[in-house]
Amino acid sequence: MKIGFFDSGIGGLSVLHHALQKLPAEQFLYYADVSHVPYGEKSEAQILSYVDAAVDYMLAQGVKAVVLACNTATSVAAASLRRRCPLPVIGMEPAVKRALDLYGERRVLVAATPITVRGEKLRTLIERVDSRHLADMLPLPELVRFAEAGIFDAPEVEEYLRGALAGYELEQYSSLVLGCTHFNFFKDSFRRVLPESVKFVDGNEGTVNQLIRELDRCGLHEHGRQSVEYHVSGKYTPEYIAALFARLDAMSLIG
């Protein structure tokens, strides 16, 4: 049986990329809701309807677990999905706690989509883990559009980031939390804009570790040959996906 991975577009591939390394005997299904990307500026009601439809589709494909490889979808829809879904639902969470645990002597900058930044889930998380009030929020909606257009290491990306970060005293920050899975594709541009002392932190490893724990708990591990199915629009050719994974390999080398 397959593990379903869901995102509005290519961002969730960064989570799948990590899962493929950690779970060599599993079968995966990746579904991207490209007709509605980006999610980060939609209403909560719209996102709920999109996620419900996507998960119903994956359930019809016989998946054994669902990974919401999208911080925005998790923020809006994870709780309701877990109430109605008969199998494990694993969501994303901006790695604020990890950043504070690792680098909590200085400020932490949390970059995410606008709806995640405004959402109750992130506010509740920060209230729980940030007793010293060190975390600041940074919405970066245009990065999702750049990613979906295949624009990565480009002057317009760097210009956008410099403008978005212009109001922050960047030397105060220990780390940048990548609170949207699309943002993992832009570490090279972030690195040119941020001081070398600012480290990157994301929730991909924690999400995959939680998936593994759920598979263990439910006795759902496979012992066969790894495979991936991509249920997405025509632009997601094997060559395109291979190029995106190659970019993620390169981004993983940037600290």
Give yes or no: 70 in active site: yes
168 burial (CB, 10 Å; 0-12 / 13-18 / 19+) is middle
- Return the exposure string of 113-136: e unless at least 16 CB atoms fall within 10 Å of the residue's CB, then b: bbbbbebebbeebbeebbeeebbe
Q: Distance between alpha carbon 85 and the CA centroid of its chain, in Å?
A: 21
Q: Let me know if 180 is a catalytic residue.
A: yes
**Type and span of the H or E element at 255:** none
| Set 135, 180, 208, 244: catalytic member | 180
Q: Determine the straight-line distance between the first and last CA of the chain, rounded to whole angstroms.
A: 35
Task: Determine phi and psi for 168, rounding to 5 degrees.
Answer: -110, 140
Which position among 19, 63, 70, 177 bears the catalytic label? 70
d(CA 239, CA 207) in angstroms, rounded, equals 26
Instruction: Classify the phi-psi angles of 219: left when phi > 0, otherwise alpha if psi is within -120 to 50, otherwise beta.
Output: left
The token pair that represents 227 in the structure block: 């495979």
List residues with catalytic annotation: 70, 180
